[in-house]
Each structure stands twice: as structure tokens, then as C-alpha cells.
Structure 1
């Protein structure tokens, strides 16, 4: 039987045969620093549209359409659903 060691990037879960490559991968990822106050919600009444399914109505007013996140390198990135 042969035993092998695998190194896994803790950010993206990619597997590597050597430790240095896994460390390079982890260092290459720019991680979120904080959630900014910039986000877009719909008013709760917008979920009452009769053409929406129950799930769609819940999603529309409960969760933001987009959020801005400040990254460790100082850039702000917008994520949309």
C-alpha cells in the first residue's frame, strides 16, 4: 500500500500534491474584509405581486438584490443575486 499526502487550499478547496502550491493558492485569494452599508432591498409590499410564486415573493422583499463588500486589498466588489 502507498500512502500519499494531499494539501488543500482552505479557501477554494483545490487539492495539491505539494505544500508550496497550496500556500500560493491560499495567498492568491483576496478575502472579504467587511460588508459595506451599500445594498439594495425591495419594499415588503413588492412581494405581494399576484404573479409571484410564494417562494419568489419571499425572496423579493426579504433578501437584497445586491451588496457591496470591501476586500482586503481595499477594493469594493458588488455581488448580485
Structure 2
């Protein structure tokens, strides 16, 4: 019997045979640092009340915009 050891990235779930490759993957993922003000429209135009988009400042200083497309649940 062979014992196998694998490493799984905590962010994306990809598995690796070496710890170093897994650590490289984990370091490559940008992490949210701060949420900027969101964009809303009047409740009379959108009864959900959800923002149209949110801007997130990442750990590398860049800001990324996420836009709502649809409710999933």
C-alpha cells in the first residue's frame, strides 16, 4: 500500500502533489481588503434592494468591480 499526501489550495480547491506548488497557488489569489460604496437604484425601479455593483479593494491595492447579474438563491 502507498500512502499519498496531497495539498489543497484553501481558496480555489485545486490539489497539488507538493506543498510549494500549493503555496504558490494560494499566494497568487488576491484577497479582499475593503468594500467601497455600492451603487443602488431607487426601490421603485428594482424591488430587490440589492446593489447594482460593489467595488472591492484588494490586497494588492487595486479595486475590482463586481456586478449583479441575477439572484442565485
Aligned residue pairs total 68
Q: Report SS of the residue matched to 1:20.
A: helix
Determine helix, strand or coil for the equivalent of 1:40: coil
Residue number in structure 1 paired with 2:71:
none
Give the number of the structure with larger relative contact order, counting CA–CA contacts within 8 Å between residues 6 or more apart.
1
User: Where in structure 2 are the equivalents of 1:40-79 lying within 5 Å?
Assistant: 40-47=39-46, 57-58=47-48, 62-79=49-66
Q: Counterpart of 1:77 in 2: which secondary structure?
A: strand
Task: Give TM-score, length-normalised by structure 2.
Answer: 0.83
Cα deviation, residue 68, structure 1: 0.5
TM-score in terms of structure 1 length: 0.76
Partner of 1:5: 5
Deviation at 1:44, TM superposition (A): 1.1
Gaps of 5+ in 2: 69-73
| Distance in 1 (alpha carbons) for counterparts of 2:27 and 2:12 | 11
Bigger helix share: 1
Q: Mark the runs of 5 or more structure 1 residues left unpaired by the alignment.
A: 48-56
* Whole-Å separation in 2 of the counterparts to 1:25 and 1:76: 21
Counterpart CA distance in 1 for 2:39 and 2:60 is 24
